[in-house]
């Protein structure tokens, strides 16, 4: 991972690392500037697909707000300092806090971009090891932690997450997923709209259940489902299939345990029993179960909507179970395991269970894979006592906007003894840092997608070389992590390309970095292939359909079935031109109408006397924000939807474009107390809220008291 010479005029090929789709890009450079970005038609995975965010890659590169040199804060004043001074200061400050209060007094948060940069992914571990703190958090527990838990319990490893073989399936059942906007999530499949259309074109079906008629509904038969009720629907589908003898696990039967226990678990959940909880007609549930079981191939897939809710773990277990019971697991057109060229599971051992080794100090929330739930972060900073977080390392994240209870975290960060951010932006979170260490990013870095080939619909590999060199006063992420580690422990950090080379060499395709350098569009190793039971990592080498921990979580769902649902539930909204809290500082992605609107159904609007554009006050247990109303039948009655990642109106940031269209933060409403209690994942979808009209679209703002929003 060395610097390149300045770019010559010409065409460069590299993958976009902004999201999970990892689209190949064709980048034209003239006079030292990017003059064009289009999809790389020769990329064997993306076939030329590109989305608006990929087109905006050069905007990030030349963004005047992007930081390149370390900043130190004194009060409200930021001063540029040298790298050696900055690294010395950070290491000394972290050591001072740990010497005074113990190792756990330093908290760490790793944001979503951490897994989209191989430099960070392969080198941050050295710093984490040096710190030795239990107070590690990441975006995982506000996203896909239930997938990991279900994978661990059923297949034996958190990363053995099966993905839908959408290019060969006859029936795609989607719950709480919006791949037309996300381009696939825990499913690397660039060009999802084309792939969804292809299912129908070959005579297949796509059925989508979601409380919002999302962009993906244009490619599916869409049905509304009440937020948080998906686990009950899945149990009911299994109930019908098992009661009617439609199960056919086929060859999976030889290495699968727990079918009888699953049958007993599903027995109470007849379609009639779950009808009012889910909002779905019993006849619809029955037909869906029969159609799914009877399809030549079928696959059930659920994403953020079913993962970031109160029963996320149950949902991911039952989705897998539905695929197994119908024989649609580890087979063409079903749920399958990709075979990545750099396989993070290469050295994994059977029977390892990286969970429950410690709990969070304040609420006793469970550890998973070395991390605690992010919903506990603020309380660990502002609740006095031994083990309280006094210093914080924030890596490529903006948890003030992206984790529940953002306002409380905002206040807690302001009172820390020390904070360092490893981040190229002065954002709503990093403004609290005492030092910001900005790594080189995007087109300046060498990148191999270490993570997302594990979830890709086709087995490919691609090394992405830098287009631009970095300046002498810039540093790569791995140099920053290495520099801090060396100061904390004396051990030298190293260029992660050596580790990458080793992993590729010992991976399934025995590759070298030179092999990849010689293939600028990437290498293709074909579609996913069956790999069970050999790839199972459970202690007994068998697939577990009825894990004890999941069965033990069912009474919680049972209890919820009889609790009256709050009148209004808030859900999030993915947008094609957003990526969580980032990508809001590029002018081309922020053009057009205000996107931070509250969608509500006409019946709810009528009840509240609200019209399009009226300003709505939205109140949850933990906070209140105001957003303009978007009255639409695209959400079901009793459900309102607000996008996440906005809230750029806070002072002291350096995001000039984002600040012009600030919106409000979803996570000022999301309640850290609302969790999937099994996994610790934040339940940011299905938040009870109350609404009131603050003013009409035509009333001037100055004539009404808006309060502290
Ligand atoms: S879908 Fe867009 S953001 Fe995601 S990798 Fe492709 S071009 Fe980049």
Average pLDDT value for the chain: 95
pLDDT of residue 702: 53
Q: In what order do the strands lie in the sheet with 33-39?
A: 10-15, 24-30, 33-39
Choose the residue to mutate in 15, 23, 39, 186 for probing ligand 1, maximizing ligand atoms within 8 Å of C-beta.
23
Ligand 1 atom at shortest distance from the alpha carbon of 22: 5
Please say if the pLDDT value at position 4 is more than 70.
no
For ligand 1, atom 2, name the residue with the nearest CA: 51
pLDDT of residue 703: 43
pLDDT of residue 5: 62
pLDDT of residue 1: 45
pLDDT of residue 566: 83
Phi, psi of 356 (to 5 degrees): 70, 20
Which of the four pLDDT bands, split at 50, 70 and 90, describes residue 8? confident
183 Cα to the center of ligand 1, angstroms: 7
Between CA 456 and CA 154 the distance in angstroms is 20
Give the residue among 57, 56, 298, 306 at the shortest CA–CA distance from 178. Answer: 306
Please say if the pLDDT value at position 3 is more than 80.
no
Ligand 1 atom at shortest distance from the alpha carbon of 25: 7
Choose the residue to mutate in 45, 53, 182 for probing ligand 1, maximizing ligand atoms within 8 Å of C-beta.
53
Lookup result for tokens 């938040």? 687
Question: What does the pLDDT look like over 409-448, one tens digit per residue?
Answer: 999 999 999 999 999 999 999 999 999 999 999 999 999 9
pLDDT of residue 436: 98
Tokens (6 digits) for 521: 């569009």
Give the residue among 132, 68, 72, 67 at the shortest CA–CA distance from 418. Answer: 72
Say how many residues make up the chain: 709
Tell me the DSSP string of 338-383: ---SS-TTTT--TT---EEEEE-TTT-PEEETTB--GGGHHHHHHS
Percent of the chain with pLDDT over 70: 98
Ligand 1 atom at shortest distance from the alpha carbon of 54: 7
pLDDT of residue 580: 81
Rg (CA), the chain: 25
Ligand 1 atom at shortest distance from the alpha carbon of 15: 5
Between CA 104 and CA 124 the distance in angstroms is 17
Strands 221-223 and 205-209: parallel
Q: Which residues is 435 bridged to in the sheet?
A: 72, 420
Phi, psi of 329 (to 5 degrees): -130, 135
331 Cα to the center of ligand 1, angstroms: 28
For ligand 1, atom 7, name the residue with the nearest CA: 54
489 Cα to the center of ligand 1, angstroms: 38
Q: For 321-390, where are the E strands, in sequence order?
A: 335-336, 355-359, 366-368
Please say if the pLDDT value at position 706 is more than 70.
no
Ligand 1 atom at shortest distance from the alpha carbon of 21: 5
Choose the residue to mutate in 39, 55, 183, 522 for probing ligand 1, maximizing ligand atoms within 8 Å of C-beta.
183
Question: What does the pLDDT look like over 580-636, one tens digit per residue?
Answer: 878 899 999 999 989 999 999 999 999 999 999 999 999 999 999 999 999 999 999
pLDDT of residue 495: 86
Tell me the DSSP string of 429-469: TGGG-SEEEPBP-GGGS-EE-TTGGGGBSEEEE-EE--SSP
48 Cα to the center of ligand 1, angstroms: 11
Tokens (6 digits) for 682: 């934040």
Choose the residue to mutate in 13, 14, 17, 19 for probing ligand 1, maximizing ligand atoms within 8 Å of C-beta.
19
**Residues in the ligand 1 pocket, defined by CB under 6 Å:** 16, 18-19, 21-23, 50-51, 53-54, 183, 190
pLDDT of residue 698: 86
Strands 71-74 and 77-80: antiparallel
Ligand 1 atom at shortest distance from the alpha carbon of 51: 2
Torsion of CA 597, 599, 602, 603, to 10 degrees: -120
Ligand 1 atom at shortest distance from the alpha carbon of 39: 7
Question: What does the pLDDT look like over 125-139, one tens digit per residue?
Answer: 999 999 999 999 999
- Average pLDDT score over residue span 101-105: 98
Please say if the pLDDT value at position 214 is more than 70.
yes
- Average pLDDT score over residue span 95-112: 97
Those residues whose C-beta lies under 8 Å from the C-beta of residue 582, and which sit 6 or more positions away, are: 113, 398, 425, 645
pLDDT of residue 159: 97
Strands 447-448 and 463-464: antiparallel
Tokens (6 digits) for 665: 């933060």
Question: What does the pLDDT look like over 461-481, one tens digit per residue?
Answer: 999 999 999 999 999 999 999
456 Cα to the center of ligand 1, angstroms: 14
Ligand 1 atom at shortest distance from the alpha carbon of 19: 4
Between CA 658 and CA 705 the distance in angstroms is 25
184 Cα to the center of ligand 1, angstroms: 10
167 Cα to the center of ligand 1, angstroms: 19
Residue 601 is classified by DSSP as: -
98 Cα to the center of ligand 1, angstroms: 40
pLDDT of residue 494: 79
pLDDT of residue 709: 34
Question: What does the pLDDT look like over 645-685, one tens digit per residue?
Answer: 999 999 999 999 999 999 999 999 999 999 999 999 999 99
- Structural contact between residues 456 and 45, judged by C-beta atoms closer than 8 angstroms: yes
Tokens (6 digits) for 485: 């580690």
272 Cα to the center of ligand 1, angstroms: 42
The 10 Å Cβ neighbour count of residue 609 is 10
Choose the residue to mutate in 21, 113, 586 for probing ligand 1, maximizing ligand atoms within 8 Å of C-beta.
21
Tell me the DSSP string of 163-193: EE-TTT-SEEEEES--HHHHS-SSSB-S-HH
pLDDT of residue 564: 84
574 Cα to the center of ligand 1, angstroms: 14
Those residues whose C-beta lies under 8 Å from the C-beta of residue 519, and which sit 6 or more positions away, are: 462
Give the residue among 184, 205, 200 at the shortest CA–CA distance from 292. Answer: 205
Please say if the pLDDT value at position 571 is more than 80.
yes
296 Cα to the center of ligand 1, angstroms: 32
521 Cα to the center of ligand 1, angstroms: 16
Which of the four pLDDT bands, split at 50, 70 and 90, describes residue 221? very high
pLDDT of residue 123: 94
66 Cα to the center of ligand 1, angstroms: 20
For ligand 1, atom 4, name the residue with the nearest CA: 19
Ligand 1 atom at shortest distance from the alpha carbon of 50: 7
Between CA 231 and CA 633 the distance in angstroms is 25
Tokens (6 digits) for 645: 């990642």
């Amino acid at each position: 991972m060395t610097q390149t010479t300045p770019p010559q005029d010409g065409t460069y090929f590299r993958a976009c690392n902004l999201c999970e789709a990892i689209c190949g890009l064709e980048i034209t450079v003239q006079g030292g500037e990017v003059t064009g970005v289009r999809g790389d038609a020769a990329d064997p995975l993306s076939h030329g697909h590109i989305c608006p965010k990929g087109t905006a890659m050069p905007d990030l590169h030349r963004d005047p707000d992007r930081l390149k040199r370390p900043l130190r804060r004194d009060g409200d004043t930021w001063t540029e300092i040298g790298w050696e001074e900055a690294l010395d200061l950070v290491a000394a400050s972290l050591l001072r806090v740990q010497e005074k209060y113990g190792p756990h007094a330093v908290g760490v948060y790793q944001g979503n971009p951490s897994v989209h940069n191989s430099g960070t992914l392969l080198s941050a571990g050295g710093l984490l090891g040096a710190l030795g703190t239990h107070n590690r958090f990441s975006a995982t527990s506000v996203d896909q932690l239930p997938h990991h838990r279900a994978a661990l319990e059923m297949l034996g490893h958190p990363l053995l997450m099966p993905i839908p073989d959408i290019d060969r399936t006859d029936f795609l059942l989607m719950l709480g997923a919006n791949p037309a906007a996300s381009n696939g999530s825990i499913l690397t499949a660039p060009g999802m709209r084309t792939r969804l259309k292809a299912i129908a074109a070959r005579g297949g079906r796509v059925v989508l259940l979601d409380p919002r008629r999302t962009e993906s509904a244009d490619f599916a038969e869409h049905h509304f489902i009440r937020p948080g009720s998906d686990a009950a629907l899945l149990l009911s589908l299994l109930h019908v299939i098992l009661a009617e003898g439609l199960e056919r696990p086929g060859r999976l039967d030889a290495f699968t345990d727990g079918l009888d226990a699953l049958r007993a678990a599903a027995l109470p959940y007849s379609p009639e029993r779950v009808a009012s909880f889910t909002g779905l007609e019993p006849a619809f549930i029955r037909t869906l179960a029969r159609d799914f079981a009877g399809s030549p191939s079928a696959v059930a897939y659920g994403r953020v909507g079913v993962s970031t809710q109160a029963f996320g773990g149950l949902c991911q277990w039952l989705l897998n179970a539905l695929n197994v019971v119908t024989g649609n697991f580890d087979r063409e057109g079903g749920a399958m395991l990709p075979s990545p060229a750099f396989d993070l599971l290469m050295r994994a051992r059977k029977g390892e269970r990286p969970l429950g080794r410690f709990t969070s100090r304040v609420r006793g929330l469970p550890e998973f894979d070395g991390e605690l739930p992010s919903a506990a972060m603020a309380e660990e900073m502002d609740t006095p006592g031994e083990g309280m977080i006094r210093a914080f390392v924030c890596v490529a994240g903006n948890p003030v906007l992206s984790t529940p209870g953002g306002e409380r975290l905002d206040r807690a960060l302001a009172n820390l003894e020390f904070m360092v951010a490893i981040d190229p932006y002065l954002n709503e979170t990093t403004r609290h840092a005492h030092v910001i260490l900005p790594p080189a990013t995007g087109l300046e870095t060498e990148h191999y997608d270490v993570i997302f080939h594990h979830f890709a619909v086709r087995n490919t590999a691609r090394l992405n070389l830098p287009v631009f060199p970095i300046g002498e006063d810039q540093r790569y992420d791995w140099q920053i992590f290495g520099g801090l580690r060396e100061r904390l422990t004396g051990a030298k950090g190293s260029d992660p390309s050596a580790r990458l080379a080793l992993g590729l060499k010992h991976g399934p395709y025995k590759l070298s970095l030179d092999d990849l350098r010689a293939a600028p569009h990437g290498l293709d190793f074909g579609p996913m292939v069956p790999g069970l039971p050999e790839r199972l990592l459970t202690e007994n080498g068998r697939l577990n359909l009825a894990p004890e921990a999941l069965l033990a979580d069912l009474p919680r769902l049972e209890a919820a079935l009889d609790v009256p649902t709050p009148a209004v539930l808030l859900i999030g909204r993915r947008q094609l031109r957003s990526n969580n809290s980032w990508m809001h500082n590029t002018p081309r992605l922020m053009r057009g109408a205000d996107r931070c609107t509250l969608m509500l159904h006409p019946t709810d609007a009528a009840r509240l006397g609200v019209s399009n554009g009226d300003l709505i006050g939205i109140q949850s247990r933990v906070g209140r924000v105001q957003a303009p109303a978007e009255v639409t039948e695209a959400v079901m009655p009793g459900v309102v939807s607000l996008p996440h990642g906005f809230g750029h109106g806070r002072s002291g940031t350096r995001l000039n474009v984002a600040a012009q269209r600030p919106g409000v933060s979803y996570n000022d409403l999301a309640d850290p107390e609302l969790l999937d209690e099994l996994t610790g994942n934040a339940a940011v979808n299905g938040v009870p809220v109350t609404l009131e009209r603050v003013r009409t679209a035509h009333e001037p703002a100055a004539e009404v008291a808006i309060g502290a929003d």
